[in-house]
Structure 1
Amino acid sequence: MTHSSRQRGVFAAAAAVVALALSGCAPSAAGGSDEAGAPAELEKVRFGYIADFNGASIAAIAEDQGLWEKHGIDVETPVFTNGPLQIQALGTNDLDFGYIGPGAMWLPASGQAKVAAINALGNADRVIAQPGITSIEDLKGKKVAVPEGTSGDMILTMALKDAGMTMDDVEKVAMDPATVVAAFSAGQVDAAGIWYPLIDTIQQQVPELEILAENEDFADQVAFPSAFVASPAFVEENPELTKQVIAVIREAIDFRVENMDEAIELTATMTKLKPEDLAAEAANAKYLTSAELTELTEDGTVTTWLTSLNEYFVSAGKLESPTDPTEYYLGDQFVEAGK
């Protein structure tokens, strides 16, 4: 390179930095630009979601607010119908991060995933029944639909146990969530373990359905946290990138708390669902700020939530020897990503 060429390069770089400063768009520390002001290469991440408010709102907010790029990430966001499928995809290296409800939390507890961040505390799960079935005891011998390994499965198991029954007392039919909606609406099953907003959809066809159990019935026994999970191999091989993804989640969590109506609209656009249905789902969950989740992580509350879930999964026969939550919850990384 000639001397004059080098000079032009230096002047061009300097001009770029000045232009960025004047426009208020200085390079981000997370990797948006390199030291010369040139765009840095974004790190690719595959981040799964479920097409409902709890499962999709963080991805929708992050996309709209440019949070992925801000933190140096080139994201791909495949959609899934449930949490266990995402855990499976993590294990086959077809996904890096995903979203699960509380019913699938036994999978991280069995060592198949890391919990990167808590999403929300859920209260959207119900055991519903056809008109005329008014108690859990009435389900004995009845056909009950449930998405296997989800919070619908969990609420059904807990309700049966509370009534002195087990899953052996009913005819359990494993279905994906959309099939549960269709089967219940058509009267092909007597009951279901399912959640809002899918219950709203069912109620349009079966307005007199019965609600036999809900999360609040068991609030003194266990919390129902949904969470973002990560591939253990990805976390081990990419500690800094893991922290960048958690930083995105933290910012999106705060945006959601501060701008719930906008978050609902953004999620509706992403999922092509009705805003009013997502609003009904959002009304059945508790959303915490990243600062609150940091405090609950540091004082051990999150570990207590996960420990109580471990105990439930043992009692339900899902696990024999669950991993301690301190081994699969990335609490230190979550706190560090907020500094």
Structure 2
Amino acid sequence: MTKKSFPTLNRLLQMAVILVAFMNDNAFADGEAWPKEITLGYQKYGPLIILKSTGELEKRLQDKGVSVKWAEFQFGPPMLEALNANKLDFAVTGETPPVFAQAAKGSPLVYVANEPASPQGEGLVVKADSEIKSVVDLKGKKIATAKGSNAHYFLIQALAKAGLTLNDIEVAYLAPADARAALERGDVAAWSIWDYFYAAAEVQLATRTLTDGTGIVNNHAFYTSRREFVEKYPELIEIVLEAVRKTDAWVKNNPAEAAEKLAVHVGVDANILEKALRRSSYGSAHLTAEVVAAQQKIADTLLDIKLLPKVIEVEDAVWQSKDK
């Protein structure tokens, strides 16, 4: 071998080392592109539980090597406590729980999408034979609602529209099942609640609605995740949202069939669920400036009445997807 050939050989060796390193780096990146598991929090109502029942998400992620785990919650605040504790990767709640969750110290919560407004999906109900005829008549009465929930904010705004505040009533902070029982026993005069519990009260408890959310609240549903998770696995989040959108479209076009499917998994009569589904809106999308502003109004309102511990900027927690 001549002296002149050595530089060429050295260059080839260097190129080989660089190529091996590049391949190793890419292999690591591919391995990091998908987690081994994603955990989704859901409630016994809405698109996520239907998506769970179809197994569609599992099918979409099978070839990525990602297993899907589901965690059920009765309502939003404890679900987002789990999200903040890194026990969930994706969750769906009403509009108020994310505001409280974002105010928690070191919260990793980010908004990734929302459903359209569904104000008719919340109601302030009393027994049909109650002497209470309007929201104004609730002054001095005990009213049940779930603390930190969308129905909590709805109650605040419904009272405000009637010229009242939380100081004018007695609030009983109860989970939905306990609140329903309290109304049935007569331990509370009214109940501020969301669907499907609202529809169940209308059908099964012979209640009367003082007001629903129309003209009072938007009642958006929000899909949330953790900042580290979405930044590390943005493609996975988009796959989940695509599956949600597909489920949304099916529910919108097939409410009766969706109610039958839900009934099997929820243990609630299909006619109740159909009532709730038909007054819901579907079509999840990334947050617009208008939706962010509406969430900021909730945060500011809760801060003004000293229910929120600190100032938050909702916009700071909105995921900026590349697909927006």
Q: Choose the corresponding residue for 2:224, options 229, 235, 243.
A: 229
CA distance in 1, matches of 2:55, 2:71: 19
Matches within 5 A, 1:63-212: 63-64=53-54, 66-71=56-61, 72=64, 73-110=66-103, 112=107, 113-122=109-118, 123-130=120-127, 131-204=130-203, 206-207=205-206, 209-212=207-210
* Matching residue's letter, 1:129: V
Matches within 5 A, 1:212-223: 212-218=210-216, 222-223=217-218
What do residues 238-269 of structure 1 show as CA deviations (whole Å, max 9, x unaligned)?
33333332333233233333433333333222
* Matching residue's letter, 1:310: A
1:62–1:252 Cα contact (<8 Å) kept:
no
1:103–1:150 Cα contact (<8 Å) kept:
yes
**Corresponding residue number in structure 1 for 2:15:** none
CA distance in 1, matches of 2:222, 2:262: 17
Runs of 5+ unmatched residues, structure 2: 1-29
**Corresponding residue number in structure 2 for 1:247:** 242
2:42–2:49 Cα contact (<8 Å) kept:
yes
2:123–2:213 Cα contact (<8 Å) kept:
yes
* Matching residue's letter, 1:217: G
**Corresponding residue number in structure 2 for 1:318:** 307
Q: Choose the corresponding residue for 2:298, options 309, 315, 318.
A: 309
Runs of 5+ unmatched residues, structure 1: 1-33, 35-40
1:84–1:150 Cα contact (<8 Å) kept:
yes
What do residues 271-312 of structure 1 show as CA deviations (whole Å, max 9, x unaligned)?
232221111111222222x5xx36x73xx3333333333343
Shift of 1:62: 5.2
CA RMSD of aligned residues (A): 2.7
Shift of 1:119: 2.7
CA distance in 1, matches of 2:133, 2:251: 37
* Matching residue's letter, 1:196: D
* Matching residue's letter, 1:304: A
| SS of alignment partner, residue 114 of structure 2 | strand
Structure with larger Rg: 2
| SS of alignment partner, residue 96 of structure 2 | helix
Shift of 1:332: 2.1
* Matching residue's letter, 1:124: G
CA distance in 2, matches of 1:306, 1:69: 34
1:132–1:210 Cα contact (<8 Å) kept:
no
Does residue 282 (structure 1) correspond to residue 272 (structure 2)? The answer is: no
CA distance in 2, matches of 1:201, 1:262: 18
Q: Once superposed, which parts of structure 1, at least 4 consecutive aligned residues long, lie more than 6 Å away?
A: none
Q: TM-score, normalised by structure 2?
A: 0.77
**Corresponding residue number in structure 1 for 2:318:** 329
Shift of the 329–253 alpha-carbon distance from structure 1 to 2, 3 Å rule, reads farther
Q: TM-score, normalised by structure 1?
A: 0.74
| SS of alignment partner, residue 153 of structure 1 | helix
Shift of the 323–163 alpha-carbon distance from structure 1 to 2, 3 Å rule, reads same
* Matching residue's letter, 1:231: R
1:124–1:285 Cα contact (<8 Å) kept:
yes
Matches within 5 A, 1:42-57: 43-52=36-45, 54=46, 57=47
Q: Percent identity?
A: 23
